[in-house]
Amino acid sequence: MIETARFLNRELAEKIRQDFGTPVYVYSEKLLREAAREVLGLPAPFGLTVRYAMKANSNRTVLKLFDGMGLHIDASSGYEAERAMKAGIAADKIMLTAQELPGNLKELVEAGVFYNACSLHQIEAYGKLFPGTEFSVRINPGMGSGGHAKTSVAGEEAGFAIWHEFIPQAQELLQKYGLKVRTVHTHVGSGTDPDEWQKVAEPCAALLDYFPEATRLSLGGGFKVGRMVGEKTADFQAIGARVQQILLDFAERTGRQIHLEVEPGTFLVAQAGTLLARVQDLTQTSSRRFLKIDAGMTEILRPALYRAQHPIVVLNDSAQTEEYVVVGHCCESGDLLTPDPEVLDKEKPRLMAKAELGDLVAIEGAGAYCSSMAAINYNSFPQAAGVLVKEDGSLQLMRRRQTLDQMIANEA
């Protein structure tokens, strides 16, 4: 089955190529807003806070758009927290959940950033700086799930968060420094099947019993987006109905009304982004036809890293089709955009319109973990530009294409 483009047509794509060149990330304001409205509609009986996981796409245009719609921010490093503040996001709308303890944690918290401790060491470090204050703790509930083994962030094989069996040690540190847990945070994985996500919600909510002063439960993100035909996308009304009942049951049992927080990243931006590239070569062997484009792991690392599948559409009017293996522009055998989803280190040809040199190619579902997670500057390719297609059809530059001088500016 041949994939189709989500929001780019050939005419608009040609205009973007003419004005901004390729490769270029293209985002739809309409789709960004639609996704945000869907998440904001999540049922929550005692209040809802939606935090955008900015690691999915940290461009300031995206941050400001979501901020204007009432979303808060989930930052995964001290640098992300600072970046959000530099984009104009109020510090008290940012929660910092970081693997690496920021060297400027004191300054960030004093500015208003809310801290989420992810280890016993982090609780101790925070307690020494801010005894007697409120913060959040991230707990590994003992189960994880994800669209790929590398995207599961809980369970025995994940080094994220405080293992649930160490909650007593965490409680000792809370008492030692007079700390109060306002928010209990969990996150089981990214790209989790919607049914699995709902299954783990109840045991995650049960962690509230260990922290009687907590008033909020953050169930993290990881909501599935079906990029490819046949893949399931999270149904927020169905998920919300399940979580709502869990919180209502908890309130009836304990008398505590818990405010819900969620942290979607992929769900908010993935389908609103397309990587637009150009066919720069066509080659073949005895068994394969290769379509080479002027983008690759320097713009979209997910296929090489996770064998992730993205729809790829040749934007021409050809009535003929061909099966292609699509490869990137890097001198690297792993720069493959059509990997076999089941077999490691194998390619899987895709059926698409017959391509000619110079044709434009749309790589769909590229709004999340592409621009912000790529092998930037490998082979000294410059960082690609970014463009927003506004709701009125006009184009807004989100990021200029990097120059070679900018690339080497910090070399001594």
Please give the Cα distance from 241 to 257 (Å, whole number): 16
Is the pLDDT reported for residue 343 higher than 80? yes
- DSSP code, position 100: S
User: Could you give the 3-state DSSP secondary structure of residue 400?
Assistant: coil
- Asked if 392 and 344 count as a contact pair (C-beta separation under 8 A), the reply is no
Residues paired with residue 197 on neighbouring β-strands, in sequence order: none
pLDDT level of residue 224 (50, 70, 90 thresholds): confident
- What is the Cα gyration radius of the chain? 22
pLDDT at 153: 44
pLDDT level of residue 412 (50, 70, 90 thresholds): very high
210: left (phi over 0), alpha (psi -120 to 50) or beta: alpha
Residue 294: name the closest of 338, 334, 332, 327 by CA.
327
| Residue 58 token pair | 């940290």
Is the pLDDT reported for residue 154 higher than 50? no
The mean of the pLDDT values for the chain is: 92
Is the pLDDT reported for residue 144 higher than 60? no
pLDDT at 197: 60
- DSSP code, position 381: P
pLDDT at 193: 55
**Mean per-residue pLDDT, 158-186:** 92
pLDDT at 386: 98
Is the pLDDT reported for residue 149 higher than 60? no
Phi and psi (nearest 5°) for 170?
A: -65, -40
Residue 60: name the closest of 298, 384, 370, 399 by CA.
399
Please give the Cα distance from 301 to 295 (Å, whole number): 10
Apex 44 CA angle, 43 and 47, nearest 5: 135
| Residue 313 token pair | 């559409």
User: Could you give the 3-state DSSP secondary structure of residue 232?
Assistant: coil
**Mean per-residue pLDDT, 322-346:** 94
**Mean per-residue pLDDT, 107-134:** 98
- Asked if 365 and 227 count as a contact pair (C-beta separation under 8 A), the reply is yes
Is the pLDDT reported for residue 150 higher than 50? no
pLDDT tens, position by position, 60-102: 999 999 999 999 999 999 999 999 999 999 999 999 999 999 9
Please give the Cα distance from 112 to 147 (Å, whole number): 34
pLDDT tens, position by position, 257-313: 999 999 999 999 999 999 999 999 999 999 999 999 999 999 999 999 989 999 999
Q: pTM value?
A: 0.93
pLDDT level of residue 156 (50, 70, 90 thresholds): low
pLDDT > 70 fraction of the chain, expressed in percent and rounded = 92
- Asked if 209 and 177 count as a contact pair (C-beta separation under 8 A), the reply is no
Domains belonging to the chain, first-starting first, are 10-26+272-401 (2.40.37.10), 29-269 (3.20.20.10)
Task: Give the end-to-end CA distance of the chain in Å, rounded to a whole number.
Answer: 51
- Asked if 248 and 44 count as a contact pair (C-beta separation under 8 A), the reply is no
pLDDT at 128: 98
Report the 10 Å Cβ neighbour count for 327: 21
- DSSP code, position 63: H
* Single-letter amino acid code for the residue at 378: Y
pLDDT at 73: 98
pLDDT at 147: 42
Please give the Cα distance from 374 to 111 (Å, whole number): 31
- Owner of token pair 């969990």: 186
Task: Extract long-range pairs of 12-17: CB within 8 Å, 24+ residues apart.
Answer: 12/389, 13/276, 13/315, 13/360, 13/362, 14/360, 15/395, 16/276, 16/387, 16/395, 17/276, 17/278, 17/360
For residue 205, the surrounding DSSP H or E stretch is helix 194-206
pLDDT at 230: 86
- Asked if 213 and 132 count as a contact pair (C-beta separation under 8 A), the reply is no
Is the pLDDT reported for residue 146 higher than 90? no
**Mean per-residue pLDDT, 96-109:** 96
**Mean per-residue pLDDT, 334-338:** 96
Sign of the four-CA dihedral 119, 120, 125, 127: positive
Question: Comparing 20-34, 43-57, 188-202, which segment has the lowest mean pLDDT?
Answer: 188-202
Please give the Cα distance from 384 to 244 (Å, whole number): 42
